[in-house]
A and B are shown apart, each in its own frame.
Chain A
């Protein structure tokens, strides 16, 4: 319906039937994701929505855990969002990834820093980038693997966070190869010991409880 030239009252405004729902979902997404730069994130949200891509939205609100010293904006939740957006492809174009990174209001220096760990042109294997991102979250190799499991798993949150052992060993080998202090023999023996545990199960999945033990303070 074309609008008449003169507006006399609010009833004349035609509200598209799908608009309220779009706005509602948009608002819910914004509250859940808590973007640092709302404008940048909104642009990313709608460009993803119009192209039918997965949206840059966190599944649930994430309490700010970073202290001022380590605050770079990169969190597990952010990586999870990126994984949701890129995880369906094996390789991701760097330009595309950079845009998504920017739309999540993450600092571009961090992106470059991650890529410097393992330089590559044009495109990057997604699982590798994700692993490097997890290692950026800080902590040891074990914490990195824990974060990775929690992102990759299809178990419900707070669950055993199981992932296929194949993926686990692939990432573990990759990361320990980058770290020159770790000997290949150590890595292999560690993986073999884990393999024994996992093989006894029907599905070849490895969970958090298999390798990640909380250090108890006495």
Chain B
């Protein structure tokens, strides 16, 4: 975590925490005899991967940090998307509720909620579908009522105008 408050204090390089975490995980998992050479191989591997796929774990980590500190991500709530789908799609199929690919790569942490929902069993899916239908019904009812209200008001206004 590099918190850019001051130029004159020691600052941890961008994305370093992420690298350190990954390295520690791998070492604990593999339990190598010679840690330095294992770490060297590990980083060589990551470098190779970066050259091939352009994925830099350090960069990614710093992006996550940046999002945490600058809060861009929390302006967007995946649940909103979910509700929108439920309300306005004629037949909400659950597959479509997965956030689009772009958002997925940018917001890797938060997608947990929708993903777990997707991975649930068929039964849950049915339940969700029913719930979605219910929500739709309620919302449509609400819309209809609003419309009727408006119509009534218009009627009233028209009548008062006529009376005048």
Interface residues of A in 1-25 (CB under 8 A from B): 3, 13-16, 18-19, 22-23
Q: Which residue of chain A lies nearest to B61 when distances are taken between CB atoms in the complex? A: A38
Stretch binding the partner chain, chosen from B24-32, B90-98, B141-149: B24-32
With known contacts A31-B10, A31-B12, A40-B47, A26–B20 Cβ distance under 8 A: yes
In Å, the complex CA distance between A43 and B45 comes to 9
Q: Contact: B47 with A46, CB < 8 Å?
A: no
Q: Contact: B16 with A13, CB < 8 Å?
A: no
Residues of chain A at interface, number, CB under 8 A: 28
With an 8 A cutoff between CB atoms, is B109 at the interface? no
In Å, the complex CA distance between A27 and B39 comes to 14
Q: Contact: B31 with A3, CB < 8 Å?
A: yes
A-B contact pairs, 8 of them (CB 8 A): A15-B28, A22-B36, A22-B39, A27-B20, A30-B16, A39-B56, A43-B40, A50-B36
Q: Which residues of B contact A34 (CB under 8 A)?
A: 11, 13
Interface residues of B in 20-78 (CB under 8 A from A): 20, 23-24, 27-28, 31, 34-37, 39-40, 42-44, 46-47, 50, 56-58
Q: How far is the CB of A162 from chain B (nearest CB, A)?
A: 30
Q: Which residue of chain B lies nearest to A33 when distances are taken between CB atoms in the complex? A: B13
In Å, the complex CA distance between A13 and B20 comes to 18
Q: Which residues of A contact B35 (CB under 8 A)?
A: 16, 18-19, 22
Q: Contact: B50 with A39, CB < 8 Å?
A: yes
With known contacts A16-B31, A18-B35, A50-B37, A42–B43 Cβ distance under 8 A: yes
Q: How far is the CB of A136 from chain B (nearest CB, A)?
A: 24
With an 8 A cutoff between CB atoms, is B14 at the interface? yes
With an 8 A cutoff between CB atoms, is A47 at the interface? yes
With known contacts A18-B35, A19-B35, A38-B16, A50–B57 Cβ distance under 8 A: no
Q: Contact: A13 with B28, CB < 8 Å?
A: yes
Interface residues of A in 178-205 (CB under 8 A from B): none
Q: Contact: B14 with A38, CB < 8 Å?
A: yes
With known contacts A19-B27, A22-B36, A42-B43, A35–B13 Cβ distance under 8 A: yes
Q: Which residue of chain A lies nearest to B34 when distances are taken between CB atoms in the complex? A: A50
With an 8 A cutoff between CB atoms, is A141 at the interface? no
Q: Which residue of chain B lies nearest to A26 when distances are taken between CB atoms in the complex? A: B20
In Å, the complex CA distance between A120 and B8 comes to 41
Q: How far is the CB of B37 from chain A (nearest CB, A)?
A: 4
